[in-house]
Amino acid sequence: MKAILDHVGIAVQDIDKALAFYRDALGLEVEAAEDVESQRVRAHIIPTGQGALELLEATAPDSPIARYVDKRGPGIHHVTLRVEDVRATLDHLRARGVRLIDEQPRPGAQSSLIAFIHPSASHGVLVELKQHASASVTLASRRLPWGDLELVSVHDGVFRLDGGAMFGVVPRPEWEAQATPDDRHRIPLGIRPLVVEADWGRMIIDCGVGDKMSVDERDRYGLDRARHLDHALADVGLHADAIDLVLATHLHFDHIGGATVRERDALTPRFPRARYLVRAAEWEDATHPHARSRASYRPDDFLPLAEAGVVDFHGRDGEIRAGVRVVRTGGHCPEHQIVFLESAGKTAVFVADLIPTTAHVRDAWIMGYDLFPMETLAYKTRFIREAIDREYLIFFEHDPRVSAGYIREEQGRRYVEQVL
């Protein structure tokens, strides 16, 4: 186990007087305050090199900080240790009989996960464990030879969506065990396009969310593109110029936002040499949205492609290039399609939003976003059976940790054996 001192939390009674000392007298820099609603506190972080000080101000009379100050006066409230995996750390401590306050991680500031150890176990000091938001997400570019094809898993960063909406009718206590929500009830999701290299050229399936979101939208979707598709391509020696074909599973913004870039006042295709292949009926739906689908389709993502004359339409299921077969699933949206990659007797499938994360391998775990959940259920039930029986390698576009794996079933329990 490795733990690093993250910060020391100080309960304050009067934030103005505390700032007069720490900021004005000591001359330390104080970051913008952040409210942590679940704790009813306002945190003022003071970075001090390796660790930080955190001034904690109660925002309600029943806040744990208010109670602490009432009872013991202002002073050191807790010490926070940063760990890589807070869930695993809790398991480790529990196995050694350490008394915990939190049996499960809960949301902290800046989309982190936190848990407290009981002070009686840590010799009178309240110890907080903290896992940074990015630590729950693993993004990396990986190559995988696949018969005559080469599959290259890439990524376009991380975003966050409402946990309830991601799991539809599944009750929160059940999905929470798979994906811990932040203080805005959102769970982290990867954005993982797939590059396919073959003798006919180089294709990318979906192309991420791109760089066109406003500051407000980035905040709403918790978009973190500190490392994005350009980095991911560079990590495997590629560049946008190297892409010949962009294939869209559907035209929702988290799948096709990366197809265009804003350059000065104009929107232009992001992959300068590429043709863009889109299902004709999906183009029709995307350009004629209704109240329920409008938030997902952003004309700036795809109309500039048509204006530039780089879109090709395909009408039905079938092989679009040697070893690449598209099949409509419907469900998520009427024309949602998945991509079969077949070579040397092996099958990999890029399942897009049919099974967005490994937590969705249970038949009834279907997103609330889906327009036709019963269609999703019918297709998914049949498809997953087939995927297990025939050992399809599944690429999960939105999983926070797993790019690809095999779905296994043992005594009715399903899990994913990670490959990438």
Binding site for Zn ion (CB under 5 A): 254, 353
Identity of the residue, 9 or 356, whose beta carbon is nearer to Zn ion in the bound complex: 356
CB of 19 to Zn ion, least distance (A): 43
In whole angstroms, the minimum distance from the beta carbon of 388 to Zn ion comes to: 23
Query: Which residue, 183 or 353, has its beta carbon nearer to Zn ion?
Result: 353
Judged by beta carbon, residue 224 or residue 254, the one nearer Zn ion is: 254
Of residues 191 and 233, the one with the C-beta less far from Zn ion: 191
3-class SS letters over the chain? CCCEEEEEEEEECCHHHHHHHHHHHCCCCCCCCEEEHHHCEEEEEEEECCEEEEEEEECCCCCHHHHHHHHHCCEEEEEEEECCCHHHHHHHHHHCCCCECCCCCEECHHHCEEEEECCCCCCCCCEEEEECHHHHCCCCCEEEEECCEEEEECCCCEEEEEHHHHHCCCCHHHHHCCCCCCCCCEEEEECCCEEEEECCEEEEECCCCCCCCCHHHHHHCCCECCCCHHHHHHHCCCCHHHCCEEECCCCCHHHHHHHEEEECCEEEECCCCCEEEEEHHHHHHHHCCCCCCCCCCCHHHHHHHHHCCCEEEECCCEEEECCEEEEECCCCCCCCEEEEEEECCEEEEECCCCCCCHHHHCCCCCCCCCCCHHHHHHHHHHHHHHHHHCCCEEECCCCCCCCEEEEEEECCEEEEEECC
Q: Minimal distance in Å, beta carbon 352 to Zn ion? A: 7
For Zn ion, the closer of residues 254 and 301 by Cβ is: 254
Nearer to Zn ion, 251 or 267 (CB): 251
Rounded least distance, CB 327 to Zn ion, Å: 17
Structure tokens at 119: 């002070």
Nearest to Zn ion of 6, 353 (CB atom): 353
Minimum CB separation of residue 244 from Zn ion in Å reads 24
The residue count for the chain = 420
Query: Which residue has tokens 């798979």?
Result: 178
Minimum CB–partner distance for residue 278 and Zn ion (Å): 16
Closer residue to Zn ion (CB): 353 or 370 = 353
> For Zn ion, which is the closer residue by CB, 54 or 353?
353
Rounded to a whole number of angstroms, the minimum distance from the CB of residue 369 to Zn ion is 8
Least Å from the CB of residue 176 to Zn ion: 21
| Shortest separation between residue 211's beta carbon and Zn ion, angstroms | 17
Tokens of 236: 């495997």
Cβ 282 vs Cβ 305: under 8 Å: no
